[in-house]
Structure 1
Amino acid sequence: MSTNTVTRADLAEAVYREIGLSRSESAELVESVIDHISDALLRGESVKLAGFGTFSLRDKKERMGRNPKTGEAVPITSRRVLSFKPSQVMRERVDSALSNK
């Protein structure tokens, strides 16, 4: 797997090694899971993966921001953003891995 970023190809390769599906079936499975997650989010649903976390859409209100170059106040329009909240299991796993370094 890559050192800095996990790609779809990396996930498909992991499925191939762990489960034993063919490489093309593994790639199709990864694509299918990503498509299902995306479709659910587009419908406005939250996606909860037990032991991993929850993906959800959040509405942000319009607010005033500042152009860092000029210092000028600029309105930032309201928008919908994707957010991810890791599960407690994932938080603990990452924390323990980082504290062991």
Structure 2
Amino acid sequence: MNKTELIDAIATRSNTTKAQTTAMLNGLLEVIQETMASGSDVQLVGFGTFSVTERASREGRNPATGVTMTIPA
């Protein structure tokens, strides 16, 4: 399911217009992104928890060329 399909499904179930649903979904995503950017987690009980984790730098390969490279943290 992509974002457009999700908006259609939510609009149908909530009896709202696609424009209203788009605005609500975009607002929700912005709040989640801003909260995570500030270092806090977002927990939606019954759905999931969104959190940012730090990863160490590591060695990887460019799949097109096979060249070894360092992937930054």
**Match status 1:40 vs 2:35:** yes
Corresponding residue SS for 1:57: coil
Match of 1:14 in 2: 9
* 1:28 counterpart residue number: 23
TM-score when normalising by structure 1: 0.58
SS state of the match for residue 21, structure 2? Answer: helix
Q: Which ranges in structure 2 are unaligned for 5 or more consecutive residues?
A: none
Q: Count residues with an aligned counterpart.
A: 70
Say if 1:8 and 1:30, in contact at 8 Å, map to a contact too: no
Choose between structure 1 and 2: higher strand proportion. 1
The CA deviation string for residues 16-57 of structure 1, in whole angstroms up to 9 with x for no partner, is: 111101221111111111111111111111111111111111
Matched AA of 2:9: A
| Corresponding residue to 2:70 among 72, 75, 84 | 75
Deviation (angstroms), 1:66: 4.6
Q: Secondary structure at the match of 1:58?
A: coil
* TM-score computed with the length of structure 2 as normaliser: 0.76
